[in-house]
Amino acid sequence: MENDENNFGQPENINQQNNPYQNYDLKIGPVAIEYLRETAKWTKFLSILGMIGMAIYLVVAFFMFLYFIGNSSTSREQVNAFAMIPFLLMMIIMIALYFAPILWLYKFSKNLQEAINLRNSDHLTTAFNFLKKHYKFIGILAIVMLGLYLLSFFGLLATGILSKMTGGGGL
């Protein structure tokens, strides 16, 4: 291997007959390796920060539930405390939704660091697989959220129109 370039070849599990990159060797120069090394550090930092944020969010949800249960002395207040359960479930669902992409980002950074340090193409392939999973999930989540925003916009619009048609109040 040359000093100024790393040769990351193809993994062995790719079928060589149908491989469009059969005669393609990717050489990564020292500047690109430094960019990847810095990217690995930042993605590791962001993933750890995300995990800490999820843990704090979960602790806050737990203590909010305990607070509402503990501070309800009358039966009416207990009903209000149990009305918080859907809100708390929504918080837990949000934590569960973001766990996988943050974990994939962390695994990307770990595998990328190992690929650079060991000059191992299998680790590099694994790292980019985790990065692909991360961004694919975030992209699908963004599409779903845009759809929900559109749905709620049209729902609000229809509610306003129906309210005016039935003579309901308004501003």
Q: What is the pTM of this model?
A: 0.73
Cβ atoms of 47 and 109 within 8 Å: the answer is yes
- Residue of 103, 91, 86, 87 whose CA lies nearest to 138: 103
User: Which residue range is the domain that position 98 belongs to?
Assistant: 6-11+24-165
Q: Residue 25: what pLDDT?
A: 75
Cβ atoms of 107 and 130 within 8 Å: the answer is yes
- Cα-Cα-Cα-Cα dihedral sign, residues 79, 80, 81, 83: positive
**Which region among 55-69, 93-107, 145-159 has the lowest average model confidence (pLDDT)?**
55-69
Q: Residue 105: what pLDDT?
A: 97
Residue 3 above 50 pLDDT?
no
Assigned domain for 45 exists: yes
Q: Per the structure, how many domains does the chain have?
A: 1
Assigned domain for 1 exists: no
Assigned domain for 17 exists: no
